[in-house]
Structure 1
């Protein structure tokens, strides 16, 4: 099965790094986050990657030109200002008429990819996303009328609802739902699938962490150093 990685965005919320390099090339323990994403898929036997590049794509090209990995990587130019849906649509001719994985180039997880795939096949829908419950960014307190704290709870995943964590399994029927380069995959296509009951959620209750900020980067590096995420 082919694996699509969206890696062309601007990454403005972590501009401390993305002024110079694209977000998927931000290093964690000396290797870019996209390496760990690919290693996770490779560990489950998936080794054909199609990377949708855009912003500072030359950095990704140079990296994969200089480094050899036991998996196959094809870097596809998808435009500087193309949105997530548009980037996927531009890869249609490379994907062909077959089922495929898709994820973002800025998030890591220990999701069981074989279980995810089996769940998708069993449910026979056009799309399956991995639903995650990230820890709340802040702890929770409750006050009474005298401003006494009557409840204090450290930040917990229980304070947050389920969100889209990437790691999709998609059928080729997804492509007609994407209109143009300016289509956000997370808006109209997924909303239409939801309305048609063609979108399933694979609930992942273990580790998932995106990299939107420098603080997120520090959390990811800690997870790797403590070997809570193993690749």
Structure 2
């Protein structure tokens, strides 16, 4: 048996024989055969059960595989998150899912053993936690906003735990207002199984300006998140998306819908040309999660205030590649007291619910 089988080793042409499928299953040990046509389009899959049923029905070892192919196999798109793939495997009680692009080409294979193992990422994750939280006063008079409790623990702890579940172990927290409370709670991170350092802002530097304080050499793309964003997003998926698109800067964006409570009258001059009853306006909003390549740091001035949209605009103006990561996971920007209530209600049910 091949000790290091690749997903491509499981691929057979539709002209193959049943004995070829048996040999493929034996050599790879992956318990699945992927049948493709001459253009690398996935036709279907074959398992040992399919082979067994075929032989019991009278087929021979030299019979073509076309008669035992499972043609309606569950497949997924390359950009489906690891968590979603895992959920599909659990619900459908399967351990392999082929990966097929928009044109039907076979491009990969998800395996249970790989999906369930989280590899540590060396990429840095920076959490912006220096804000005053003015809209949450008086709750933030003696407690920094990221330390406000949600379901029994600080929201910042939820963010770190979520990222750790995606393999992130190296964190830097940017602090300013009541920053000592954050440092006293998290320390060097060892209590949480991660490493944590700090950027201490003498004055508030915005959602990007604190990055100018990074003194260490960074040679890998790094992830940045606001310290008041509670979400089920796969941080690793955002990073993977950024790398696949060879981007300089990636911003997670979320679809936001706003319904006009009134019927809209469409006019040309004084003439009424139509009506629209309570239309819904849709736009994409900044979700407060980003990936940047180290070279983006040169667009920041040390100790100068800068918000992330301004940094992205500068990067774009310099003809660098700026992309959006469309997210659909539950998300909540905890900025007001009722947001805190929503976050508590959501996490107590083990999921976050957006407004």
Q: Which range, TM-score by smaller chain?
A: 0.7 to 0.9
1: CA distance, partners of 2:186 / 2:238: 28
Greater CA radius of gyration, 1 or 2? Answer: 2
Deviation at 1:87, TM superposition (A): 0.7
Deviation at 1:221, TM superposition (A): 1.0
Q: Are positions 1:97 and 2:219 aligned together?
A: yes
2: CA distance, partners of 1:95 / 1:63: 27
Deviation at 1:189, TM superposition (A): 1.6
Residue equivalent to 1:210: 333
Deviation at 1:76, TM superposition (A): 2.6
Question: Structure 2: 5+ residue runs without aligned partners?
Answer: 1-122, 266-275
* Contact in 2 for aligned 1:49/1:72 (Cα 8 Å): yes
Taking a change above 3 Å as real, the CA distance of residues 66 and 84 of structure 1, as seen in their structure-2 partners, is closer
Question: Structure 1: 5+ residue runs without aligned partners?
Answer: none
Could you report, residue by residue, the CA deviation over 1:24-59 in whole angstroms, capped at 9, with x for unpaired residues? 111101211000000110001111110011111111
Could you report, residue by residue, the CA deviation over 1:63-118 in whole angstroms, capped at 9, with x for unpaired residues? 12498211121123122332332211102x23523211111100011112232122
Residue equivalent to 1:225: 348
Deviation at 1:187, TM superposition (A): 4.1
TM-score (norm 2): 0.57
Q: Helix, strand or coil: the match of 2:171? A: strand
Q: Helix, strand or coil: the match of 1:166? A: strand
Taking a change above 3 Å as real, the CA distance of residues 213 and 179 of structure 1, as seen in their structure-2 partners, is same
Q: Are positions 1:53 and 2:175 aligned together?
A: yes
Taking a change above 3 Å as real, the CA distance of residues 187 and 128 of structure 1, as seen in their structure-2 partners, is closer
Comparing 61-70 with 161-170, which one deviates more in the overlay?
A: 61-70
1: CA distance, partners of 2:294 / 2:257: 33
Q: Where do 1:34-49 residues align within 5 Å?
A: 34-49=156-171
Residue equivalent to 1:70: 193
TM-score (norm 1): 0.85
Q: Are positions 1:32 and 2:157 aligned together?
A: no
Q: Which structure is richer in relative contact order (CA contacts within 8 A, separation 6 or more)?
A: 1
* Contact in 1 for aligned 2:241/2:325 (Cα 8 Å): yes
Task: Tell me how large the CA RMSD over aligned residues is.
Answer: 2.4
Taking a change above 3 Å as real, the CA distance of residues 135 and 95 of structure 1, as seen in their structure-2 partners, is farther
Work out which of the residue numbers 145, 169, 172 in structure 1 matches 2:294. Answer: 172
Deviation at 1:188, TM superposition (A): 3.0
* Contact in 2 for aligned 1:84/1:184 (Cα 8 Å): yes
* Contact in 2 for aligned 1:107/1:208 (Cα 8 Å): yes
